[in-house]
């Protein structure tokens, strides 16, 4: 029997590529550079399955063709806001994702960023490496205490709950959550959390705010200038979810004028481009989209994609169907 043809849009961990090559007729983008819309259109005519990543932009122009050979997009990641799902539906292309397997690593990184910005770790390392440290003194790089502070979590799915686990039980933080749906009482009790009805009501109560909600048009610039003004003057914003959640121009102004204490980002609106105003802000910690970047997690993500593709081509139910 002919194996289904599959394209990986970027390089994946070698162990996963080997497993995929045994199961499918596999083609890998050896250049490991983002594919263009024209590349994707050509791929849709050639391959039975295409496996994009968050670094790909599959807007309506990618799906602008009368028909496609591709029957499924096996997305390497949880979020799918980079894929025009309505356009995929029109071409009768299914989409799967990779939930569960990256929750812990992303929450680990979110907690890392929170601690880094609170304790001014980025500033301290830059000062030390540049030779500017003159020794210990009582007022040097005074940061903000994390233990016992109030953390607001926007989006209380798997990653948001994993963040609450670390913050509440590891650092004794008070947890406030805002979620688009009503959460079961037992879920809130598990993390010592209180649900707040709206983002506007949550922001003024928090010392730290961590974003764990989906991206996409509905949540674009969820945190804008108006909402940044609702935060406490010394509060900190952490984003490991999606870059489009934050209005970067408004954030840069808030950081430069000191209307919030600082921010820590792992994702950006137009990755890999970052505004100069953010690059120059001392009260900002930035990482290059490392949320799921551990060996075990990246391998598990790839194997999860393979499980979905195998189920699809075997005529079984998709374990992680998006559409």
Catalytic residue numbers read 242, 271, 289
Q: What secondary structure does DSSP assign to 265-311, as a single string?
A: ES--TBTTB--HHHHT-TTEEE-SS-TT-SHHHHHHHHHHHHHHHHH
Write down the residue that tokens 């007729």 correspond to.
Answer: 25
d(CA 2, CA 152): 52
The SS3 assignment for 92 reads coil
CA distances in angstroms from 145 to 65, 127, 179, 192, 281, listed in the order given? 55, 21, 26, 20, 21
CB 47, CB 7: distance < 8 Å: yes
d(CA 176, CA 171): 14
Residue 40's nearest CA partner among 25, 23, 57 is 57
């Amino acid at each position: 029997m002919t194996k289904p043809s599959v394209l990986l849009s970027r390089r994946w961990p070698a162990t996963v590529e080997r497993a995929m090559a045994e199961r499918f007729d596999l083609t890998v983008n050896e250049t490991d550079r983002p594919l263009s819309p024209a590349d994707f259109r050509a791929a849709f005519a050639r391959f039975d399955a295409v496996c994009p990543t968050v670094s790909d932009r599959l807007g309506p122009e990618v799906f602008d063709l009368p028909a496609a050979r591709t029957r499924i997009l096996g997305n390497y990641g949880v979020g799918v806001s980079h894929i025009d799902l309505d356009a995929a539906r029109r071409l009768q292309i299914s989409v799967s994702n990779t939930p569960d397997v990256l929750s812990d690593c992303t929450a680990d990184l979110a907690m890392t960023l929170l601690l880094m910005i609170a304790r001014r770790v980025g500033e301290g390392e830059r000062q030390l490496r540049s030779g500017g440290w003159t020794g210990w003194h009582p007022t040097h790089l005074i940061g903000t205490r994390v233990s016992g502070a109030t953390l607001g979590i926007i989006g209380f799915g798997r990653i948001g709950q994993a963040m609450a686990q670390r913050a509440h039980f590891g650092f004794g933080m008070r947890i406030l959550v805002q979620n688009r749906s009503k959460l079961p009482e037992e879920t809130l009790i598990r993390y010592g959390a209180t649900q707040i009805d709206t983002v506007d009501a949550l922001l003024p109560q928090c010392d730290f705010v961590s974003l764990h909600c989906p991206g996409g048009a509905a949540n674009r610039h969820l945190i804008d200038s108006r909402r940044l003004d609702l935060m406490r003057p010394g509060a900190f914003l952490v984003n490991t979810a999606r870059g489009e959640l934050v209005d970067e121009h408004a954030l840069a102004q808030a950081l430069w004028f000191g209307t919030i204490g600082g921010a820590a980002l792992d994702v950006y609106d137009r990755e890999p481009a970052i505004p100069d105003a953010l690059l120059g802000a001392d009260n900002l910690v930035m990482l290059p989209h490392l949320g799921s970047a551990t060996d075990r997690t990246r391998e598990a993500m790839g194997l999860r994609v393979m499980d979905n593709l195998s189920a699809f081509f075997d005529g079984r139910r998709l374990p992680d169907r998006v559409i």
